[in-house]
Amino acid sequence: MLKCVHKTITLSIATVVLTSISAFASFDGKKDAVDGGMTYPRANGTYTVYKYNDQNISPLNHGRTPTANELKAWDTDIMPDGTGLPKGKGTVEQGDELYEEQCAVCHGDFGAGGVGYPTLTGGDIASLTNQRTPGHTDAPKRTIGTYWPQASTLLWYIHDAMPYAHPKSLTWDETYAITAYLLSANEIQIDGKDMDEDFVLSNENFTKIKMPNEKGFIPNIDGPDGVKNVKAFLSDGKNIGAVGTRCMKDCKDDNAVAVVVSDPRTDVNPPFSEVRDLPKKDTSTIAPGQEDYEKSCAVCHGNDKMGAPDLGNKDIWAKVMKKGIDKVVEIAIKGTGAMPPRGGSTLSDEKLKQVIEYMYSKSK
């Protein structure tokens, strides 16, 4: 019975999918999108030519055991003890130059942060205890120097995911250099010594890095005892706020903890405010289209790494606007190249026009 029901559902879904895409022709996309996805041809203001799998998929199975080489290709993480650490080296000075070229456009000068992108430097560990409670508005300052417990995660993440526009494009030497610069900017020492401009970070001295918040995460999940440590931590009631024997009612034991159901909205002193009004914003200096640009378009048009006409580039925008504002808006609505229709936003035609006019006004 279950098998029949499952088969019926599968066929129904397949029918819907096939009906939905039957109007499309054969696939003709290219793997050249910025995010690694596909860029599809367009016609008459719509995407075209998606392809579907028409092979017989029954019976299903769980695949096979991966080979040693397949596992090796996926096993790219770098552990705090140095396991998986690749060979390479780079100086703080080299990292400074690479950061300015590859990273500052999003993360700001010296890692001070950019619009919509994480701040990488500054702050202090004491701020990690900050809580957003009544009367307290300061949030924890989570930066490399205050929050990250292991430098190995930083090295691995930069190499696998950065720069945003073209990840995995850095060599390991470049990755070591950028990591060295960011550690230096956070005033992190290696083996008790400051990292000056000539300091060389490499796979040979990397494990000597001691991050300020190395012991800030409990329980310790690293190493072969990680799972055991987690179980031991959670099994101790004191670590999760419980003392004594738990009970629901008629608690006779003096050390028992009565489970009380309370309303977190009102059972606090003083009560949490229920006012939801946002602070009034001064809009007198905000140009039409500026806010929508920053929310929906700056990620691609805010720098020259994405291949889109970047804000402030006079030559590119002069060439773009030769087509006329109406034609440029039409292109933006339908999408072009790696840019999806309306830039992937839900902006109206008028809002989209304001954004284009704003970008052009800043690029004259």
Break the chain into its structural domains and give their ranges. Answer: 89-208, 290-361
φ, ψ of residue 332 in degrees (nearest 5): -65, -35
* Residue 50: per-residue pLDDT: 64
| Highest mean pLDDT, choosing among 56-60, 90-94, 163-167, 218-222 | 90-94
Per-residue pLDDT band for 187 (boundaries 50, 70, 90) equals very high
22 pLDDT more than 60: no
8 pLDDT more than 50: no
Higher local confidence (pLDDT), 202 or 19: 202
* Residue 176: per-residue pLDDT: 97
30 pLDDT more than 80: no
29 pLDDT more than 50: no
147 pLDDT more than 70: yes
33 pLDDT more than 70: no
Give every CB contact of residue 226 below 8 A, 6+ residues apart in sequence. 220
Q: Which of 16-30, 32-46, 319-333, 340-354 has the lowest average pLDDT?
A: 16-30
Q: Which helix (H) or strand (E) holds 230?
A: helix 226-235
Question: CATH homologous superfamily of domain 290-361?
Answer: Cytochrome c-like domain (1.10.760.10)
243 pLDDT more than 90: no
* Residue 7: per-residue pLDDT: 33
Kindly list the distances between the CA atom of residue 319 and the CA atoms of 35, 144, 189, 314, 352, in Å, as whole numbers in the listed order. Answer: 26, 41, 49, 9, 19
158 pLDDT more than 90: yes
* Residue 283: per-residue pLDDT: 73
pLDDT in tens, 335-347: 887 788 888 888 8
255 pLDDT more than 60: no
* Residue 15: per-residue pLDDT: 34
What whole-number distance in Å separates Cα of residue 75 and Cα of residue 234?
29
CB 310 within 8 A of CB 360: no
Write out the E strands in 109-237: 200-202
pLDDT in tens, 193-210: 899 999 999 999 999 999
149 pLDDT more than 80: yes
Strands 246-247 and 257-258, bridge-based pairing: parallel
Please state whether the peptide bond connecting residue 219 to the residue before it is cis, i.e. omega within 30 degrees of 0.
yes
Count of positions (residues) in the chain: 364
Q: Report residue 170 as tokens.
A: 């850095």
What whole-number distance in Å separates Cα of residue 48 and Cα of residue 52?
13
Q: Which of 85-94, 103-112, 339-348 has the lowest average pLDDT?
A: 339-348
* Residue 251: per-residue pLDDT: 64
pLDDT in tens, 111-137: 888 777 889 998 888 888 887 766 777
* Residue 248: per-residue pLDDT: 64
Return the ∠ at Cα 224 (arms to 219 and 225), rounded to 5°.
40
Fold classification of 89-208 is: Cytochrome Bc1 Complex; Chain D, domain 2 (1.10.760)
- Residue 142 burial (10 A CB sphere; 0-12, 13-18, 19+): middle
Domains 89-208 and 290-361 share a fold: yes
